[in-house]
Amino acid sequence: MVMAGVMIEEGEEDKLAKMGVKDSKMLSPKAREIMFDLVKSNCSNYKTLIVDVNMVDAALATDDMNLNKLEAQKMAEVINALEPDRAIIDCPSNNIPAFVSYLRKHIKNKNIEIIAEHKADENHLVVGAASILAKVTRDREIEKIKNKIGVDFGSGYPSDPRTVAFVEKNWNKHPSIFRKSWSSYRKYVEKFKNKSLGDF
C-alpha cells in the first residue's frame, strides 16, 4: 500500500492544471511517469509512504484494526509530516464522518481543516497530484518484485487476470510478496487446507 500527499500554496491549483495533472487513473503510464517528476518539482512539499505487506498484515491481525483505520493512520503520518493548514483527502470509507473522526485522533494539529470526499482525486487537482505520486511509486515497487522473482504477474490488482493466475499457481512459492490478509491469497490457502484434509 502506498500513501502520498502533495502540498501547494493557496491558489496554485492553476499551476497543476497547466501541467495537465489529473486523477492518476485517467493518465497513461507514460504520462504518469512524466507527471511524477513535474509534481515533485513544482509543489511546495510532498510525502510518499510505502506500507509493506508485513505492516499491513500485522495491523489487520489485531481485533480493533481494519484497512480503513490503517489508511487513516498512514494518512495522518503524511499530514503530520507536511503540516498543512487544510487537508483534502480521498476517503476510502463509506462513513466519512466516522473516518474523519478517527483520522483527527492521529493528527497533531487539532485545528486543521479536513475536507474528505469520495473520488477526491477526480475533484481536486492537488489530490490528483498525490494520486500520481502514489500510483507511480506503487508501480515501481511492483516492477521491483517482478525483477526479483523473474515473473511478470501483471498489475498486482485482483481485477487483473494475469495477477489472479499468478496467485493461484504461486501463492506458496513466493510467500514474502503476498499480503496474507488479502482475500485473493487466503482463498488459495483455504483451498489447499481443505484439499489436504480431504486426503485423510
Give the tens place of pLDDT for each residue, 66-122.
Answer: 899 999 999 999 999 999 999 999 999 999 999 999 999 999 999 999 999 999 999
Within its chain, how far is the Cα of 73 from the centroid?
13
- DSSP count for the chain of H helices, then E strands: 9, 4
Give the per-residue pLDDT at 183. 74
Which of the four pLDDT bands, split at 50, 70 and 90, describes residue 45? Answer: very high
Q: Tell me the residue length of the chain.
A: 200
Give the per-residue pLDDT at 197. 46
- Gap between the Cα atoms of 75 and 108, Å rounded: 12
Give the per-residue pLDDT at 180. 77
Give the per-residue pLDDT at 193. 64
Which of the four pLDDT bands, split at 50, 70 and 90, describes residue 170? Answer: confident
Whole-model pTM: value is: 0.88
Domains defined for the chain, CATH in brackets: 2-144 (3.30.420.10), 151-198 (1.10.10.460)
Q: Which pairs from 56-62 meet CB under 8 Å and 24+ separation?
A: 56/1, 56/179, 56/181, 57/179, 57/180, 57/181, 60/181, 61/181
Look over the chain and give the mean of its residue pLDDT values, rounded to a whole number. Answer: 90
Give the tens place of pLDDT for each residue, 114-150.
Answer: 999 999 999 999 999 999 999 999 999 999 999 999 9
